[in-house]
A = this chain, B = another copy of it.
């Protein structure tokens, strides 16, 4: 299989039909069959992943996968197993596309796991192996995982005046402001051919790290008063949640404002929403929101709002992460360097919910409205 050509990157991956993608898988497989028939060493080419091939596109403000390619040869004893696995994943994924089925990445692992012939050798030993093949396949046929009908666990919740339509499910139309105070449980696949953003009545999207803060803002009537759409990520945002935020940003033209704990982990959650992640650098165009802004928590908030009593000590993991982040190209600006330096000097962190130290409603009536109105953001 040939790796994606650069020009293909301009193709709109979201509008392709399952049939088209299945065809690309078949074409790639066909060329491998041909190699076998002509007694050539079957070769699979894909993009090199990992830090060494991730670039920061300064102009667009997002992470990208570089041009480095990697080759896998069936007759290389070090590659043979992985080659076999990639073929299994390709074949099964093509079946899903043909049958209009979707599967979780855990399910495809289990569906393909079996003992080979009379040997004691399993096709896969753990899900990490099949997950790797899926990413290879995404890159090799130049698409996104969602378009291979694959997904991971859903996570994340949506609340606010946005009307969605699930085209695949009875044409359900629902407004995420009218589901009581729970909100909608965001699916793992939020592609436009399935989920339509039908109507939006809001000024911005507020992405919130903790489920409890999401609930607090709902209880305070924040979404209505501020005309905000609330997205709770529950920690690092799942891919479906990132996709939904990206679509609210690009389709509904809503600014994205991110609100996390004031610690390296929270700031990294922000950077993944904004610039994309290293693991999914190839898909930043579909997931990232380069214009996103960061509203808090910052370590400056501690002094500004007298929260000295409710900070916590940074853990070793936080310190390590802060050091790494200081070196990332997408954190090379004055504001974030200062913030990270403060974290490393003061060795403290501050949680979103620590704002309750002022009063429960403080975050909804003071902190967020004022900061957002005055545009007191970090870039």
| Chain A residues near B (Cβ < 8 Å) | 101-104, 106-108, 110-111, 113-115, 122, 151-155, 157, 164-166, 168-170, 172, 174, 178-188, 195, 210-212, 215-216, 219, 309-310, 351, 353-357, 359-361
CB pair B181 A168 closer than 8 Å: yes
- Picked from B154, B183, B310, B353, the residue with its CB within 8 Å of the CB of A211 is B154
Residues of chain B contacted by A183 (CB below 8 angstroms): 184-185
CA distance A174 to B180 in the complex (A): 8
- Tell whether A178 pairs with B185 under 8 Å between CB atoms, given A153-B210, A216-B107: no
Write 28 A-B pairs (CB below 8 A) sorted by A numbering: A101-B360, A104-B353, A106-B351, A106-B353, A107-B212, A107-B216, A110-B355, A111-B357, A113-B309, A113-B310, A114-B309, A115-B309, A153-B211, A153-B212, A154-B182, A157-B185, A164-B180, A169-B180, A169-B181, A172-B178, A172-B180, A179-B184, A180-B195, A182-B185, A182-B187, A184-B185, A185-B185, A187-B215
CB pair A353 B172 closer than 8 Å: no
CB pair A354 B215 closer than 8 Å: no
Nearest CB on B from A125, distance (A): 10
CB pair B182 A182 closer than 8 Å: no
Given contacts A151-B215, A153-B211, 14 further A-B contacts (CB under 8 A): A107-B216, A107-B360, A110-B353, A113-B309, A114-B357, A152-B212, A153-B212, A155-B211, A170-B178, A172-B180, A174-B178, A174-B180, A182-B185, A184-B185
- Tell whether A166 pairs with B187 under 8 Å between CB atoms, given A106-B212, A360-B103: no
CB pair A110 B212 closer than 8 Å: no
CB pair B181 A184 closer than 8 Å: no
Nearest CB on B from A117, distance (A): 13
Nearest CB on B from A164, distance (A): 6
- Picked from B107, B115, B155, B181, the residue with its CB within 8 Å of the CB of A356 is B107
CB pair A181 B174 closer than 8 Å: no
The copy count of this chain in the complex is: 2
CB pair B111 A154 closer than 8 Å: no
- Tell whether A104 pairs with B180 under 8 Å between CB atoms, given A111-B357, A113-B357: no
Residues of chain B contacted by A178 (CB below 8 angstroms): 170, 172, 174
Residues of chain B contacted by A182 (CB below 8 angstroms): 154, 166, 184-187
CA distance A183 to B174 in the complex (A): 11
CB pair B166 A172 closer than 8 Å: no
Residues of chain B contacted by A351 (CB below 8 angstroms): 106, 110
CB pair B354 A110 closer than 8 Å: yes
CB pair B104 A215 closer than 8 Å: yes
Residues of chain B contacted by A108 (CB below 8 angstroms): 356
CB pair B166 A181 closer than 8 Å: yes
Residue among A212, A216, A351 with most chain B CB within 10 A: A212
Nearest CB on B from A334, distance (A): 30
CA distance A309 to B168 in the complex (A): 34
CB pair A187 B179 closer than 8 Å: no
CB pair B187 A184 closer than 8 Å: no
CB pair A188 B215 closer than 8 Å: yes
CA distance A183 to B176 in the complex (A): 11
Residues of chain B contacted by A151 (CB below 8 angstroms): 215
Nearest CB on B from A99, distance (A): 9
CB pair B180 A166 closer than 8 Å: yes
CB pair A219 B181 closer than 8 Å: no
Nearest CB on B from A230, distance (A): 11
Nearest CB on B from A100, distance (A): 11
CB pair B179 A172 closer than 8 Å: yes
Nearest CB on B from A115, distance (A): 6
Residue among A122, A165, A357, A360 with most chain B CB within 10 A: A360
